[in-house]
Chain A
Amino acid sequence: MLAHARSVYNRAMRRSLAVLGLLAWLACQAPVDAGGVREADVEYTGS
């Protein structure tokens, strides 16, 4: 019973961490909205 509860708890934790990781990644990728202006650091091919 205790082992089952621990397993459920661990799965839920892993899912939560995965979601949090995804959200953190998206936050880094998405341009910031500042007063109607989206901003982002970008890279382009130059010389």
Chain B
Amino acid sequence: MPARLYIPEGVGRRPGVLVLHGIDGPQPAIEAFARNLTAEGFVTLTPDLFSLHEFGSEGRVDHPLVLGDLAGALAFLKQLPEVDPARIGVVGFSFGGRLAVLAAALHPEIRAAVNYYGVASYQELGNREVGGRALRSVPLTERVSAIRAAVLLQHGEADQTNPVEQGRLLHAALTRAAKRSLLYTYAGADHVFNFAGSRHHAEAARLSWERTLAFFRENLR
């Protein structure tokens, strides 16, 4: 599977972080995010989870091919000589945000997971049209017991694609299960608020980046 690897200058083993793209697949903004994280001392890997697969009409949500590639990417990252396999994190955006939390549930060695505006429960998205795999997927709220990682949730309060209630739902479930969860919401911020484009929200982007960085520094020390 293809991926891009970013390694910081210097010697010694560093924390490793998987950076997971959204439903649009790999994008320059995702690569820039990974590069920026690496400039702060983290080895990062941006796997392309889509390009080699045909997913069919049922969609990609929690697809076994995606989960298999995710496991492969995690194994690849951990075996790198530059990476400390005991300090592994994951961050994802939208589709990748949900996947980041799912990864934490499936791979207990992950110590820190950051979910930017991912769907927690497709069943509770309201009257939006959802079908196929998404409708049959297990809500993240029902997977929290398997999570050992600290979780950071970042969500725009004006998210028109995936309402902020999804972030609140997951945070509540994690908290009820006595898991470490932090939720930050951003007033006036829409979906993908942290990337360039019509929905960019500069203040939310800056704050969420600082919080992601602080979160990884604290939990992947």
Contacts and interface: CB of A to CB of B under 8 A. Distances in A.
A47 B68 contact: yes
Contact-residue size bin, chain B (C-beta under 8 Å from the other chain)? 20 to 34
Contacts, number: 68
A31 B35 contact: no
A2 to B, nearest CB: 53
A9 B178 CA distance: 77
A11 B7 CA distance: 40
Contact of A44 (B3, B39, B65, B67): B3
19 contacts: A34-B35, A37-B6, A37-B7, A37-B8, A37-B35, A37-B38, A38-B6, A38-B8, A42-B2, A42-B3, A43-B1, A44-B3, A44-B72, A45-B72, A46-B65, A46-B71, A46-B72, A47-B64, A47-B65
B68 A46 contact: yes
A39 B76 CA distance: 15
A43 B53 contact: no
A25 B21 CA distance: 31
Contacts of A39: 4-7, 35
Nearest to B73: A44
A6 B47 CA distance: 52
A36 B8 contact: yes
Contacts of B35: 34, 37, 39
Contact of A45 (B1, B4, B6): B1
Interface string A13-47: 00000000000000000010011111111111111
